[in-house]
């Protein structure tokens, strides 16, 4: 069994608990002064990688856990967080604020990183909670020609480089088996990510963090989608409350709902 | 070859054609819409030889684009599925590939299969539902075509411009694609499934590249339910953390669902606590629903949950906390203990 060289892409996004506001110019969402953190699905990917090592669940062991993020200078913070959770090192591909990559661009960048780092397992989140595209892992698998196991809730390693993954699908779960190298995207149910402890946060500051540019990886930021406008969704007005069950039933009848 | 000879001739003379000529009856008046002939491929889902009618939403979206609409199905003994799909009005052709290798919809071989058929057909738009199948398959297809996919769209403005929710539905983005082949997943609740009647499409065998499969399908475990499917149900009753246990969830929510003929949903808190199955989760990370009636029971209304249900026609809520955010979006709210109110409601619905 090959030793695992795991690549974990992480994204810095507006914190999941913040309600995003559309900016005045209607060109996007207000990001200045808004709390950002690691995309929640990416925390699951980091956690899973660290657990694979800690639980010695892969017969060949884990040689390396490398986290990578493409984004503005502040993306280094989420890489440090990932290292505090147990990743060995980080790669920061610096992209200017407002020049975000699209999923296809990220997938191309990751393909280059996989080749450079000689990764044989990439664990991504199933989607980022800002763009909600849910594409990058699948695109990367397509570009590399690797098998993909999306929305994973369970990953089990076997002999002979085999990996068995249980995926969340509509109506239940499905299990597939493939050989390394493979792309896995994590679903909420896969694990419960740990909090980085203070000593580990301190240790993470000493772990290697390499800075790169897109051109270092031989990719360009080529955008295919132009954002024409971003608007608030039509507001929903609460219709008020009723006193009792009879009131509820008659109101639902008035509204034609029952 | 991208276009047939006849098409090329038609394209050359497009300037002199009246707008109403059927081949060019695009709903869009811009001249650029006429420059390239629109033709869409709707990816249809099947399971065990049965057409998934929910996937006919892809045809509805394709029809909105204008241009010709073809459907695509693949799997073992695909003929009956293709014949059923051929009855959908407005579909010109069903491309069918009969091969058991595609039964499970594994993207490792299904994506190259689609790419071959997309190239052969010269399609400009590839459309599938934003379902587990579509989400896993289409980005892989898009990458192979070097196209930036547009996910989970809720509206089509024209052949290049699409509307999609971002940030868990807290913002709505309108985006314009510059890719020659648009790869799109659609939000099923925004495009009602086309009805499988009135049409008589031709059925044609697709090309089959027979790509060697790099992944082995092992097993599946699907929740069995006689209730309506959550994603497409007209009424949904959904339970949250307030239900306290799986026993209470079943005891309170299931009779309520049955009294309304509704599907059962759940919040993430209820699913994580083991009260309900994962597949019932409504929200940003679960299913997006937009029924006539959404009744939220013991659900506070976090933004991730609202992302999955706030397009419902009527939202009703029962919660003991009068300050819960769900009441800000609910058309009708009842503050009270769900363990008293819901059984009372169930009784009254049954007797009315």
Half-sphere exposure of A158 (CA within 13 A, CB side): 9
The mean pLDDT value of chain B amounts to: 90
B35 pLDDT above the threshold of 60: no
Rounded mean pLDDT, B10-34: 44
Contacts of A191 (CB under 8 A, 6+ apart): A44, A47, A48, A51
| Nearest by CB: B139 against A139, A223, A258 | A139
- A147 contacts on B by Cβ (under 8 Å): 108, 214-215
Condensed to tens digits (0 to 9), the pLDDT of residues B244-292 reads 999 999 999 999 999 999 999 999 999 999 999 888 999 988 899 999 9
User: In whole angstroms, what separates CA B236 from the centre of its chain?
Assistant: 17
Contact flag B177-A224 (C-beta cutoff 8 Å): yes
A87 interfacial to chain B (CB closer than 8 Å): no
- Mean pLDDT confidence for A205-229: 96
| Band (B36; pLDDT cuts 50, 70, 90) | low
- CB < 8 Å to A168, chain B: 132, 278-279
Share of chain A above pLDDT 70, in %: 100
Whether A170 and B131 lie within 8 Å, measured CB to CB: yes
Asked which of A110-119, A232-241, B103-112 is least confident by mean pLDDT, the reply is: A232-241
Minimum-distance CB partner of B216 among A136, A177, A236: A177
pLDDT band at B14 (very low <50, low <70, confident <90, very high): very low
Q: Could you tell me which residue, B21 or B60, shows the higher pLDDT?
A: B60
Q: What residues of A are in contact with residue B219 (Cβ under 8 Å)? A: 174-175
pLDDT of the residue at A190:
95
Q: Which residues does A56 contact at the CB level (< 8 Å), separation at least 6? A: none
Band the pLDDT of B13: cuts 50, 70, 90. Answer: very low
**A55 closest CA partner among A66, A44, A64, A47:** A47
CA–CA distance, B54 with B320 (Å, rounded to integer): 36
Give yes or no for A31 touching B (CB within 8 A).
no
Distance of alpha carbon B293 from alpha carbon B34, whole angstroms:
41
List, in sequence order, every residue forming a beta bridge with A62; answer none if it has no partner.
A4
Q: Please state, as a whole number, how many other Cβ atoms lie within 10 Å of the Cβ of residue A61.
A: 13
pLDDT tens string A62-112: 999 999 999 999 999 999 999 999 999 999 999 988 888 999 999 999 999
The two structure tokens encoding residue B339:
């363990």
Does residue A22 belong to the interface with chain B, where contact is any CB pair within 8 Å? Answer: yes
Quote the tokens at residue A251.
């109101």
CB contact at 8 A, B308 and B282: yes
Question: What pLDDT does residue B229 have?
Answer: 86
Residue B124: closest CA among B28, B247, B236, B264? B28
B314 contacts on A by Cβ (under 8 Å): 252, 255-257
Q: Do B218 and A130 touch (CB under 8 A)?
A: no
Could you tell me if A150 and A138 are in contact, meaning their C-beta atoms sit under 8 angstroms apart? yes
Strands annotated E in B48-160: 50-51, 68-75, 93-98, 125-129, 150-153, 155-156
Chain A interface mutation, best of B295, B300, B331, highest count of A Cβ atoms under 10 Å: B331
Nearest CA in chain A to B234: A257
**Predicted confidence band of residue B33 (pLDDT cuts 50, 70, 90):** very low
In a 3-state reduction of DSSP, which class is residue B179?
A: coil
The answer to which of B5-9, B123-127, B212-216, B241-245 has the lowest mean pLDDT is B5-9
How distant is the Cα of B348 from the closest Cα of chain A, in angstroms? 8
Instruction: Indicate whether this model's pTM tops 0.95.
Output: no
Using one digit for the tens of pLDDT, what is the confidence trace for A106-149? 999 999 999 999 999 999 999 999 999 999 999 999 999 999 99
Chain A from 43 to 82: CB within 8 A of any B CB: none
Q: Is the Cβ pair A132, B333 closer than 8 Å?
A: no
For B143, the closest chain A residue by CA position comes to A139
CA A201 to chain B, closest CA, distance in angstroms equals 28
Query: Residue B97: pLDDT above 60?
Result: yes
pLDDT of residue B334: 98
C-alpha to C-alpha distance for A43 and A8, rounded to whole angstroms? 10
Q: Give Cα A153 to chain centroid, integer Å.
A: 14
Which segments of B184-336 does DSSP mark as H helices, in order?
246-260, 268-272, 303-306, 326-329
Which of B132, B138, B170 faces A233 most closely, judged by CB atoms? B170
Angle between the B132-144 and B107-121 helix axes, to the nearest 10 degrees? 60
Report yes or no: A192 at the B interface, CB cutoff 8 Å.
no
Residue B93 CA to residue B82 CA, distance in Å, equals 10
A32 touches chain B (CB under 8 A): no
The pLDDT assigned to B223 comes to 80
What number is the average pLDDT over the span A221-244? Answer: 93
Does the beta-carbon distance from B144 to A153 stay under 8 Å?
Answer: no
CB contact under 8 A, B107 and A141: yes
Q: What is the pLDDT of residue B9?
A: 43
CA distance A80 to chain B (A): 24
Confidence band for B34, pLDDT divided at 50, 70 and 90: very low
Quote the ipTM score.
0.96
Nearest chain B alpha carbon to A107:
B143
In this complex, the residue of A142, A241, A248 whose CB is nearest that of residue B111 is A142
Nearest to B93 by CA among B62, B119, B115: B62
User: Does A236 sit within 8 Å of B315, measured CB to CB?
Assistant: yes
Query: DSSP alpha helices (H): ranges in B96-239?
Result: 107-121, 132-144
Please list every residue in chain B whose beta carbon sits closer than 8 Å to the beta carbon of residue A104. 142-143, 146-149
Residue B317: name the closest of B291, B339, B336 by CA: B336
Q: A4: burial class by Cβ within 10 Å (0-12, 13-18, 19+)?
A: buried
- CB-closest option in A129, A142, A233 to B143: A142
| Whole-angstrom distance, CA of residue B139 vs CA of residue A140 | 9
pLDDT band at residue B2 using 50, 70 and 90 as cut-offs: very low
Q: How far is CA B175 from CA A97, A229, B157, B180, in A?
A: 19, 7, 10, 15
Q: Does A227 touch chain B (CB under 8 A)?
A: yes
pLDDT (0 to 100) of residue B37: 87
């Amino acid at each position: 069994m090959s030793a695992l060289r795991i690549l974990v892409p992480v994204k810095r996004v507006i914190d999941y608990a913040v309600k995003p506001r559309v900016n005045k110019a209607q060109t996007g969402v207000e990001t200045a002064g808004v709390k950002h953190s690691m995309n929640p699905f990416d925390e699951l990917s980091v956690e899973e990688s660290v657990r694979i090592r800690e639980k010695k669940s892969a017969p060949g062991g884990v040689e390396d856990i490398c986290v990578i993020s493409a984004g503005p200078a502040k993306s280094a913070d989420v890489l440090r967080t990932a290292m505090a959770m147990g990743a060995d090192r980080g790669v920061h591909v610096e992209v200017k604020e407002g020049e975000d990559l699209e999923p296809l661009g990220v997938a191309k960048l990751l393909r280059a990183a996989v080749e450079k780092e000689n990764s044989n397992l990439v664990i991504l989140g199933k989607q980022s909670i800002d763009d909600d595209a849910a594409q990058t892992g699948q695109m990367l698998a397509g570009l590399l020609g690797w098998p993909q196991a999306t929305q994973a809730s369970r990953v089990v390693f076997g002999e002979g480089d085999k990996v068995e993954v249980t995926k969340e699908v509509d109506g239940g779960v499905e299990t597939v088996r493939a050989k390394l190298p493979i792309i896995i995207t994590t679903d909420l149910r896969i694990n419960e990510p740990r909090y980085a402890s203070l000593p580990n946060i301190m240790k993470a500051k000493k772990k290697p963090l390499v800075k790169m540019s897109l051109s270092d990886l031989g990719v360009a930021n080529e955008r295919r989608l132009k954002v024409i406008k971003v608007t608030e969704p039509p507001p929903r007005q609460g219709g008020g409350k009723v006193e009792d069950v009879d009131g509820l039933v008659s109101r639902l009848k008035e509204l034609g709902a029952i | 070859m991208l276009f047939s000879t006849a098409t090329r001739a038609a394209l050359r003379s497009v300037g002199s054609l009246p707008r109403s000529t059927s081949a060019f009856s695009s709903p869009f008046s811009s001249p650029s819409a006429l420059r390239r002939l629109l033709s869409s491929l709707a990816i249809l889902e099947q399971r065990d030889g049965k057409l998934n009618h929910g996937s006919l939403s892809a045809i509805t979206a394709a029809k909105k684009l204008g241009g010709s609409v073809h459907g695509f199905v693949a799997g073992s003994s695909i003929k009956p599925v293709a014949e059923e799909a051929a009855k959908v009005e407005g579909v010109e052709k069903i491309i069918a590939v009969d091969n058991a290798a595609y039964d499970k919809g594994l993207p490792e071989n299904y994506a190259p299969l689609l790419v071959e058929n997309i190239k052969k057909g010269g399609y400009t738009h590839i459309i599938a539902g934003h379902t587990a199948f579509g989400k896993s398959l289409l980005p892989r297809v898009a990458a192979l075509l070097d196209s930036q996919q547009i996910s989970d769209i809720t509206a089509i403005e024209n052949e290049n411009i699409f509307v999609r929710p971002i940030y868990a539905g807290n913002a709505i983005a309108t985006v314009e694609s510059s890719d020659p082949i648009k790869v799109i997943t659609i939000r099923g609740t925004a495009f009602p499934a086309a009805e499988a009647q009135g049409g008589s499409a031709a059925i044609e065998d697709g090309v089959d590249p027979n790509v060697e499969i790099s992944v082995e399908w092992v097993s599946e475990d699907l929740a069995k339910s006689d209730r309506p499917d959550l994603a497409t149900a007209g009424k949904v009753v959904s339970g949250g953390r307030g239900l306290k246990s799986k026993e209470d969830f079943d005891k309170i929510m299931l009779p309520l669902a049955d009294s309304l003929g509704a599907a059962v949903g759940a919040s993430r808190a209820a699913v994580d606590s083991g009260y309900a199955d994962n597949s019932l989760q409504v929200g940003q990370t679960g299913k997006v629903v937009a029924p006539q009636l959404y009744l939220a029971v013991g659900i506070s209304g976090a933004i991730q949950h609202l992302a999955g249900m706030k397009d419902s026609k009527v939202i009703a809520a029962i919660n003991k906390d009068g300050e819960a955010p769900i009441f800000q979006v609910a058309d009708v709210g009842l503050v009270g203990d769900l363990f008293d109110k819901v059984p009372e409601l169930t009784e009254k619905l049954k007797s009315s």
